């Protein structure tokens, strides 16, 4: 069992290990007296783990109500956000109560934003059950839902009071979903930790999952401690995301976030090299490690389609957009390109 402490606007522990789910009630009780809990989960995860979480919470004196929604990115919507608000009110959740997210990044982002807004903020605990949510979305307090115009355009920074990452739950993940989380893991190596990137080049992620989750959480913790509200360094965590979000949007959310980030990192690395922003072709490092983890490295969309989709990105200011590009092995930098330059960047990045 490993504990990583985050010191952002709120301090909290991220507990990583096995056998944690059945002890969730005791662990939450250690930091919050028994109260009413609204568990938010998607239908797939709830069927697998909902009962065990309820038992653990009730055994520790919490009283539980459950909001279950259909799995998938389409559910990260204003509509479900509104439904959770109404559900909490109908179930008498008060300011001293708790919302718990049991599931992947979709559940965490949706439930976290609901917790940030309901009664202007109620405590929130994350129980991530995908690789992606353990290494990335459950840590650092970004919560959001998607708008028609693009991904994560409506949300809030809102830190949890505790994160419980039980690696046993990863045992039921489909292979493809496991791999999607590996894209964010590879991202950490590329942007901030050459030694970790080297480890990923030589070792299997699944054989070392606890160690890998811990290292990713530490990297993210360090970034969030320095720049919680993304005024500087935190932007590095968006490597592959500006174009990745465009890929997701062009696919009508059919291409998952992790797969889109994998494709986005390749386009960013190639585009930066071919436009002369950097002197080294980092796709030589990225492509083998992505392929070894069964991740896609290309998509069928045209530069024009991706360009139009990327214009709604949050990293855009009036006529420039911030892109993250590799600088050295295990190090990335932030560059600003004009909106006009972006289309050429994507065009060259595609091939
Ligand atoms: P997800 O939550 O949709 O989970 C993927 C699929 O796996 C779903 O169908 C889910 O039902 C299933 N699943 C989850 N846990 C399971 C388990 N243990 N066993 C079997 N099936 C399981 O998606 P995700 O990949 O976890 O997260 C992607 C989302 O996270 C995107 O919306 C993305 O924008 C967001 N994200 C947010 C941040 C952040 O900082 N807040 C960071 C990265 C990504
Ligand atoms: N996933 C990017 C961030 O948390 O900033």
Tokens of 118: 């309901």
Res 143: pLDDT: 98
Specify the residue with its C-alpha closest to ligand 1, atom 38. Answer: 137
pTM for this one? 0.96
Tokens of 190: 């590329």
* Cβ 77 under 6 angstroms from ligand 1: no
**Ligand 2 centre distance from Cα of residue 63 (Å):** 32
Tokens of 23: 């002890």
* Cβ 228 under 6 angstroms from ligand 1: no
**Which atom of ligand 2 is found nearest the CA of 136?**
1
Res 77: pLDDT: 98
Res 81: pLDDT: 98
Res 30: pLDDT: 98
The H or E element containing residue 249 is helix 241-250
* Cβ 105 under 6 angstroms from ligand 1: yes
**Interval 145-156: pLDDT, tens:** 999 988 999 999
CA angle 178, 183, 188 (to 5 degrees): 125
Question: How many helices (H) and strands (E) are present in the chain, helices listed first?
Answer: 14, 11
**Ligand 1 centre distance from Cα of residue 202 (Å):** 26
* Cβ 137 under 6 angstroms from ligand 1: yes
Rounded to whole angstroms, how far apart are CA atoms 338 and 126?
38
Res 314: pLDDT: 64
The H or E element containing residue 220 is helix 209-226
- What residues of the chain score a pLDDT lower than 50? none
What is the DSSP pairing of strand 123-128 with strand 162-166? parallel
| The one catalytic residue among 241, 249, 270, 315 | 241
Res 304: pLDDT: 95
Looking at the CA of 143, name the nearest ligand.
1
Q: Where are the beta strands (DSSP E) in 8-119?
A: 11-17, 36-42, 63-69, 98-103
Tokens of 142: 């970004």
Res 315: pLDDT: 65
Res 319: pLDDT: 86
The sign one gets for the Cα dihedral 289, 104, 305, 341 is: negative
């Amino acid at each position: 069992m490993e504990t990583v402490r985050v010191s952002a606007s709120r301090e909290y522990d991220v507990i990583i290990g096995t056998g944690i789910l059945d002890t969730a009630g005791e662990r939450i009780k250690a930091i919050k007296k028994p109260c009413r809990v609204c568990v938010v989960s998607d239908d797939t995860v709830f069927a697998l783990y909902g009962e065990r979480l309820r038992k653990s919470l009730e055994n520790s004196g919490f009283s539980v109500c459950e909001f279950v929604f259909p799995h998938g990115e389409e559910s990260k919507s204003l509509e479900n956000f509104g439904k959770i608000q109404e559900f909490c009110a109908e179930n008498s959740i008060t300011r001293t109560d708790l919302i718990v997210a049991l599931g992947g990044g979709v559940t965490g982002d949706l439930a976290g934003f609901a917790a940030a807004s309901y009664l202007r903020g109620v405590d929130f605990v994350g129980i991530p059950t995908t690789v992606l949510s353990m290494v990335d979305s459950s840590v650092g307090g970004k919560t959001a839902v998607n708008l028609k115009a693009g991904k994560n355009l409506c949300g809030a920074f809102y830190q949890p009071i505790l994160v419980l990452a039980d690696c046993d739950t990863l045992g039921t993940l489909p292979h493809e979903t496991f791999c999607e989380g590996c894209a964010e893991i590879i991202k950490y190596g590329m942007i901030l930790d050459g030694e970790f990137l080297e480890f990923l080049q030589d070792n299997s992620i699944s054989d070392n999952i606890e160690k890998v989750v811990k290292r990713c959480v530490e990297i993210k913790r360090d970034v969030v401690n320095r720049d919680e509200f993304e005024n500087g360094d935190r932007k590095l965590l968006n490597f592959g995301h500006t174009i990745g979000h465009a890929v997701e949007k062009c696919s009508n959310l059919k291409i998952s976030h992790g797969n889109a980030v994998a494709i986005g990192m390749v386009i960013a690395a190639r585009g930066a090299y071919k436009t002369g922003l950097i002197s080294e072709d980092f796709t030589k490092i990225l492509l083998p490690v992505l392929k070894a983890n069964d991740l896609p490295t290309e998509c069928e969309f045209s530069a024009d389609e991706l360009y139009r989709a990327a214009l709604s990105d949050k990293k855009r200011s009036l006529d420039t957009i911030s892109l993250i590009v590799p600088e050295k092995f295990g190090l990335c930098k932030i560059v600003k390109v004009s909106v006009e330059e972006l289309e050429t960047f994507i065009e060259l990045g595609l091939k």
